[in-house]
Amino acid sequence: MKPIIELTMFQTESSALTPFGQWTRGRRRMPALAAPCASLQGCAFGGAPAFDLFGAYFPLWLLSALIGALGAVIAHRVFVATGWAQIVPCQLLVNTAIGVTVAVLAWLLGTGQFP
């Protein structure tokens, strides 16, 4: 009599597929993977921080990202106007870092966590 599932030399019986096509070992790992995800929470009960701009509510993270992008563009313009663009290496990395810093500061100021 021929077996239903033939095992190769790399498979063991514990890693064989069940009749539904799922790995039997994966079911034991699911609670271990789901436990850290249970501690992740979204926004507080009050909702996400948002601002009323032009009659619509914009989330603070989006406003912070726009301010950070504007900060990076302004930093690039300043570097070009002063001639620092020839001196400072890795302009993309430097301007991106400045933009991220401005965005984080805008986020901290908007949420009231920055003194």
Question: Per-residue pLDDT for the chain (115 aa), expressed as one digit of tens each?
Answer: 555 555 555 555 554 555 555 555 555 666 666 767 666 655 556 666 777 777 777 788 888 999 999 999 999 999 999 999 999 999 999 999 999 999 999 989 988 877 7
Residue 90 domain flag? yes
Domain count, the chain: 1
Contact yes or no for 30/77 (Cβ under 8 A): no
State which residues form the domain around 68.
50-110
Q: Which residues pair with 8 in a beta bridge?
A: none
Residue 30 domain flag? no
Q: Cα separation of 96 and 80, whole Å? A: 15
pTM of the model: 0.56
Residue 59 domain flag? yes
Residue 88 domain flag? yes
Residue 17 domain flag? no
Q: Are strands 56-59 and 50-53 parallel, antiparallel or unpaired?
A: antiparallel
Q: Cα separation of 29 and 37, whole Å? A: 13
Contact yes or no for 64/53 (Cβ under 8 A): no
Residue 37 domain flag? no
Residue 20 domain flag? no
Residue 77 domain flag? yes
